[in-house]
Amino acid sequence: MTLALNLTDKPQLRHCTFFVPNRANGAILMIVGDRHFELEQHGADLKTFLDFKRYLDGRHTISEISAITGISVEDTVGIVGNFAEQGLLRREQPELERIPVADFLAQIDRSTAMWTEQIGYHRLWSGLENKDFRKEVFLGLILETYHYINSASRHISTAIAHCSDPAWKRLLSEYLAEEYDHAWMARESLVNMGLSKEEVENAHPLIGTWSWTNNLCEIAREDTLGYLACTKLFEARGTETLEGANTLQRLAVEYGYPEGCLAPLVSHVEEDVKAGHTGLLEEALEGRDFVPAWQAHRAVNNLHDLKHSFDQYNDGIILYYSDVSNYIPRLKVDYFSL
């Protein structure tokens, strides 16, 4: 199917992520929801392509994109046309005021799968697998996971306090009852790795971890639907899945930590999997037919922001724990330290 494009059209690419699985052959993996596309390079390099892609934002006409990037109008129309034919351009539906629940849930599932996959591509994970980092970075990952788990009561209780739907408040209260006291499992793992209980409990989270927690609390405060959608992302991240937990156990031994040191943390993951916390959104929407479009838009934007909080969280772990001069665990700075 050939789509007619005008030079005044302002194309906007659907939300996607890019990954280069094999730099040797130059192929680019483009992920849109649950669809994967392998883009082959012909002439232009990856940087040129990504520079072109950033102008597909719905604010630039095809003529403007061509002028800015230096890519001919003919080639610009061809690239945009290929994206359009694959259904990869955003299609505005201003008349759509309600979204069927089944459609909303399916789209959230596809998007969280894409963002979870992108989080897994972060260089923290490949660096740990390839032993690019010193062992303190692995310890730091478990330390920040402890803070991450320990923040559960804070953001769940915030969601409860600002929830106006009685059924959703009850659901969140059950969630809090199941999650409020799980941090000890990560703490015991850290003790097994050589830290004292006092060192763990007095450790100060990295700014990236604080930022993640504060972002989630803000989402919980303003958008209960968005918070419930976010549980599908943060309950399914790498260290919160059985596969991820098993990987951590293997890496712990490879980095010189005792065999079985992460058993308490793994038990936390097993409990969460049994509890089915990634299904809270489905439970909340059971029996409902539609989601107001404006609520769906807000929820998706908040979910996307949380994905980027994960990126900063992982970046912070690498930056702080790679520095040989930094205190581990991180210390609070009091007045007498000045």
pLDDT score recorded for residue 112: 92
Beta bridge partners of residue 30, listed in sequence order: 18, 37
The secondary structure of residue 28, as a DSSP letter, is E
- Enter the pTM of the model: 0.86
Q: Are 76 and 62 in contact (CB under 8 A)?
A: yes
The secondary structure of residue 335, as a DSSP letter, is G
State how far the alpha carbon of 90 is from the alpha carbons of 15, 94, 208, 234, in Å.
Answer: 8, 12, 31, 26
pLDDT score recorded for residue 2: 47
CA distance 263 to 252: 11
Q: Where are the domains of the chain?
A: 17-85, 98-337
CA distance 121 to 126: 7
CATH code for the part of the protein at 98-337: 1.20.910.10
Question: How large is the angle between the packed helices 263-275 and 166-179, nearest 10 degrees?
Answer: 160
Find tokens 């520095």 and name the residue.
Answer: 323
pLDDT score recorded for residue 269: 79
CA distance 82 to 322: 43
pLDDT score recorded for residue 92: 77
pLDDT score recorded for residue 260: 94
pLDDT score recorded for residue 244: 77
State how far the alpha carbon of 154 is from the alpha carbons of 105, 250, 281, in Å.
Answer: 26, 31, 19
pLDDT score recorded for residue 42: 63
Which residues of the chain register pLDDT less than 50? 1-2
CA distance 261 to 193: 6
CA distance 304 to 310: 10
